[in-house]
Structure 1
Amino acid sequence: MSEQDRQRRGVLYGLGAYGLWGAVPLFWPLVARAGSLELLAHRVVWSLVISALLALVLLPRGWFQRLASRRTLLMLGLAAAVVSVNWGLYIWAVNHGHVLETSLGYYINPILSILVGVVVLGERMAALQWVSVGLAALAVVVLTVEYGRLPWISLVLAASFATYGVMKKQVNGGAVETLTVESALLAPVALGYLVLLQVQGGSTFGALGWGHSLLLVATGVVTVVPLLFFAASATRLPLSTLGLLQYLAPTLQFLLGVWYFGEQMSTGRWIGFGLVWLALMLMSGHGLHRANASRRERLVAEPV
């Protein structure tokens, strides 16, 4: 397979991953009768079932040994706790009419990820990146005035996912194996909660028909399939291309929030979102310029 074909396939995988993430607000209202905590618990349990089966089929024997050190398990445990907050809040927000705030959170996430890298990993930011951070902060101020409160859903989603990303950088493992371990670490709590619900008569699994129960099982599919597409895309595409594709998900969520769910976009919200979009354009432009400069340097360095 030529490099061009490889990258073309990578783009298709990336579109699949971010397209599914962008469309997922359509899924959660289908199972809204279960409640956010029950949905989160099912998502953890069925993600474990599916990812464990995939690990059994796709990964070499002994794959867990690479992740079995105390430090790695601790990092994955912390990552699992953080992403569970992200998953749970996202489900709650979508099912309570805050799709636009979720999209804003994932627009802000790349900017916040850079800021977390500076604070936690000691990375350095260029001037344009600082401008992007400043514009994002101004957007938060504008939206705080508009909402009459902090856009806390957006901030918690962005902060939790950025923190999750930094933690995952410390672990040398692929998407399937790390998701399997993370889900396994969360599963005892999730299973305990589901058993408690069943005992108390509050569980919707099996109580609202087979269609509802199958949709609860599908929470694992909704979680695992986009991750597989993303992993396949990440191995085939340069980071600059992947960085541009990531904006597809919040853009689809934004369009769904406005056109499908009918959430209102006032003048203040347009200004706030506009500032974030400007910040992302500056940051993306800087990233592309740096990637092109690096590519030119490699070409100059290659012997004729």
Structure 2
Amino acid sequence: MKKHKYYLAAFTAFFLWGFFSLGLKPIAHYPSLDILFYRVFCSALTMTAINLVFRKKNIRKNWNTFSVMPLQKKRSIAALTLIGAVILSANWFIFIYVVNHVSVKAGSLAYLICPILTTVFAFFLLHEKLTNWQWLAVSISAFSCVILSANHFQDIFYSLVVATTFALYLVSQRKNSELDKFLILNIQLLFIALLILPFYPKYSGAIPTETLFYLCLFSIVVFFTIVPLFLNLYALKGINSSTVGILMYINQIINFGLAFFYFNEQISLVQLFSYCLILISIIVFNKNIIFEKKSKSEEIAVVSKSI
């Protein structure tokens, strides 16, 4: 029961991200870099304001914890935080470009591949162990991705780049768990903002004047950046990277539904079959947690009858 809150956090994060295209598509006529600039700057300012106004005690507590750590541990936390920020910024830009200038399905395919890469990276880099059932789920997912990528080289290329960056971010932040996750995320966003700030004057377009842009930006900052990223990092405190990775498929099933029902992108029977396989893989991978409650209830019933 203790881990259920971490599963719920991961589920909620990917559920929200599933609707990300609703915030991006209405402003697709804006350059991808402009969307990235405003997303990062507004997210960093919002989180900094929240921390400085409402979480001063938490900042002091984390600073005191960090101060007494050995030098090697400090360097490790700093490196993981800043490297994670660079990887995350690359992932954001490429994903925005893919959704707005390639296709929603290509963006969806990226995060279909990502759980597989996350599992592989976690296995080799973090030595996370998987059960035979979980390996079966990963195999089913891999098979479905192979089917989806057939005859779509451009999509698979962009998808691999997006998937690799986010998988590396997840794995790196699994090891970065000593300090408050909201504060870590704030530092990462501030670092990303500092990295891209020198490029803003030269590569940004005219300051947007449309109300629609700022409404979409608000939804992107709050519902598709701060809230899900924090929930994602929080989930990594209690469950391993491969589990968080496989739950990412929730995002893509919603994305698939939006692409078909809302954006009217054509979906073949092969793609429909592949997504059904992915849904099966989620259930198989999380078999223990899904059926744990039922099993415990059955055990209690058996004990009660025996009494």
Q: Same fold (TM over 0.5)?
A: yes
What residue in structure 1 maps to residue 304 of structure 2?
A: none
Question: Hey, what's the Cα distance between the residues in 1 that align with 2:197 and 2:166?
Answer: 24
Question: Hey, what's the Cα distance between the residues in 2 that align with 1:118 and 1:269?
Answer: 28
Q: 3-state DSSP class of the match of 1:123?
A: coil
- Closer, same or farther: CA 279–211 of 1 in aligned 2, 3 Å: closer
Question: Hey, what's the Cα distance between the residues in 1 that align with 2:45 and 2:63?
Answer: 16
What residue in structure 2 maps to residue 302 of structure 1?
A: none
What residue in structure 2 maps to residue 58 of structure 1?
A: 55
The TM-score, its normalising length taken from structure 2, stands at 0.75
Identity %: 24
Write out per-residue CA displacement over residues 196-225 of structure 1, whole angstroms, 9 at most, x where no aligned residue. Answer: 23xxxx52324x345535644654334113
Matched, 1:169 2:174: yes
What residue in structure 2 maps to residue 183 of structure 1?
A: 189
Question: Hey, what's the Cα distance between the residues in 2 that align with 1:296 and 1:160?
Answer: 43
- Closer, same or farther: CA 53–186 of 1 in aligned 2, 3 Å: same
Matched, 1:135 2:140: yes
Runs of 5+ consecutive residues of structure 1 not aligned to the other structure: 298-304
Deviation at 1:78, TM superposition (A): 1.1
Q: Which amino acid aligns with 1:264?
A: Q
Q: 3-state DSSP class of the match of 1:173?
A: coil
The match for 1:30 among 12, 26, 30 is: 26
Matched, 1:102 2:99: no
What residue in structure 1 maps to residue 213 of structure 2?
A: 212
The match for 1:156 among 144, 158, 161 is: 161
Question: Hey, what's the Cα distance between the residues in 2 that align with 1:165 and 1:294?
Answer: 31
Deviation at 1:260, TM superposition (A): 0.8
Q: 3-state DSSP class of the match of 1:34?
A: coil
Matched, 1:46 2:42: yes
Matched, 1:73 2:78: yes
Runs of 5+ consecutive residues of structure 2 not aligned to the other structure: 68-73, 300-307
Question: Hey, what's the Cα distance between the residues in 2 that align with 1:231 and 1:123?
Answer: 17
- Closer, same or farther: CA 150–49 of 1 in aligned 2, 3 Å: closer
What residue in structure 2 maps to residue 260 of structure 1?
A: 262
Write out per-residue CA displacement over residues 271-297 of structure 1, whole angstroms, 9 at most, x where no aligned residue. Answer: 433433333332122554689889999
* Alignment check: 8 A CA contact 1:45 1:190 kept: no
How many residue pairs match? The answer is 286
* Alignment check: 8 A CA contact 1:205 1:213 kept: no
Q: 3-state DSSP class of the match of 1:27?
A: helix
- Closer, same or farther: CA 101–285 of 1 in aligned 2, 3 Å: farther
Question: Hey, what's the Cα distance between the residues in 2 that align with 1:219 and 1:263?
Answer: 22
Q: Which amino acid aligns with 2:111?
A: Y
- Closer, same or farther: CA 15–150 of 1 in aligned 2, 3 Å: closer
* Alignment check: 8 A CA contact 1:23 1:252 kept: yes
Question: Hey, what's the Cα distance between the residues in 2 that align with 1:103 and 1:150?
Answer: 10
Question: Hey, what's the Cα distance between the residues in 1 that align with 2:236 and 2:122?
Answer: 20
* Alignment check: 8 A CA contact 1:140 1:272 kept: yes
> What's the C-alpha RMSD, in Å, of the aligned pairs?
4.0
Deviation at 1:112, TM superposition (A): 3.0
Deviation at 1:175, TM superposition (A): 3.1
What residue in structure 2 maps to residue 224 of structure 1?
A: 226
